[in-house]
């Protein structure tokens, strides 16, 4: 948390809002799963010139992956493989970066889900 003012008591520009978050994860030999939530409070302590308030938001993220090592010697040299799915902004909130100069015009990406694979040789 940052709270900054100039000597005259006015707010310093581009200060991020108070944020709090947490998450849970679980891992075993092959599986990895995690979920996390970040809450950013509204930022209303703004500079008096060229800055606007920013609404708060909740950013929910989740991921699950499965990794394995092929048994024996794999013909193409594959040592390890991982497949997974990850999601960001799963609540599909309108998120604005309060310290960005373009926050009033540009939202951060909405809900997204990504399927991925990683191969190690």
Q: What share of the chain is helix, strand, coil (3-state, %, to 5)?
A: 0, 45, 55
Q: What is the CA radius of gyration of the chain?
A: 21
Question: Can you tell me which residue has the tokens 């309060």?
Answer: 98
pLDDT value, residue 78: 84
pTM of the model: 0.85
pLDDT value, residue 31: 98
Question: Can you tell me which residue has the tokens 């499965």?
Answer: 66
pLDDT (tens digit per residue) in 45-103: 999 888 999 999 999 999 999 999 887 766 678 889 999 999 999 999 999 999 999 99
pLDDT (tens digit per residue) in 8-36: 999 999 999 999 999 999 999 999 999 99
Query: Would you kindly state where each structural domain of the chain is located, as residue ranges?
Result: 19-120
């Amino acid at each position: 948390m940052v709270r900054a003012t100039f000597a005259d008591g006015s707010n310093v520009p581009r200060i991020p809002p108070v944020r709090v978050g947490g998450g849970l994860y679980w891992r075993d030999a092959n599986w990895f799963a995690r979920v996390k939530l970040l809450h950013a409070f509204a930022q209303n302590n703004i500079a008096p010139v060229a800055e606007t308030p920013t609404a708060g938001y909740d950013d929910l993220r989740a991921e699950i992956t499965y990794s394995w090592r092929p048994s024996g010697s794999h013909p193409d040299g594959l040592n390890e493989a991982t497949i997974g799915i990850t999601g960001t902004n799963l609540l599909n909130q309108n998120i604005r970066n309060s310290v960005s100069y373009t926050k009033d015009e540009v939202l951060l990406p909405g809900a997204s889900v990504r399927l991925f694979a990683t191969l190690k040789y």
